Amino acid sequence: MHNIGNDIVDLGLAKIQSNWQRKGFLEKQFTQKEQGEILASENPFLKVWVFWSMKEAAYKCYTQKVKKRFFAPKKFQCTLTSKEEGVVVFEGIKYYITIFLNTFYIHTIADEVKNGGKITSAICLPNTVNKVIRKTLEKKTSYLFKEIEKRKTVVGAPLYFYKEKLLTNSCSISHHGNYEAYAFTLKNEY
């Protein structure tokens, strides 16, 4: 079993709600190397939110494993390997990142294992993600979506069940502004 995490950033909302240029923001959230890349970037705003989303996705992946929450974004060290991929390292553990980026949002998925398996993911409208996941699971498992239930782990990560049968190996839900996103792996292939 391996864990996954995901994060979404509504870029329109980030532009109006967050001032990444305020004193101390970069220093508290990002390593020296990341700060240098942000400040040298053609689009520093976008680089801030790509790195932030990578850190969040890796954090969600890690917390599923250790079952405790904390705040230490600077300890999650980001490296982009291309526009669509990167690696985040935390305490010697590598998280492999996939980045989906357009003018509206950044959606990142973190996986403990490089090419670790089939991850199902999507972007949804606000307040629809649970229904969309259950409908997706219905198609993949043939269990009726009305009988698929979401339960949370001790760190708040969702898992989906049919009666007492676990359907998702790992699941991550995120929301920001006009978007919700999810990523999950199935417990067993159906």
- Secondary-structure breakdown of the chain: helix, strand, coil percentages, each rounded to the nearest 5: 35, 35, 30
Q: What is the pLDDT of residue 1?
A: 66
Distance separating alpha carbons of residues 106 and 8, to the nearest angstrom: 6
Bridge partners (DSSP) of residue 161 are 149, 166
> What domains are defined for the chain?
4-186 (3.90.470.20)
| Per-residue pLDDT tens digits of the chain, which is 190 residues long | 689 999 999 999 999 988 888 888 899 999 999 999 999 999 999 999 999 999 999 999 999 988 888 889 999 999 999 999 999 999 999 999 999 999 999 999 999 988 777 899 999 988 999 999 999 999 999 999 999 999 999 989 999 999 999 999 999 999 999 999 999 999 876 5
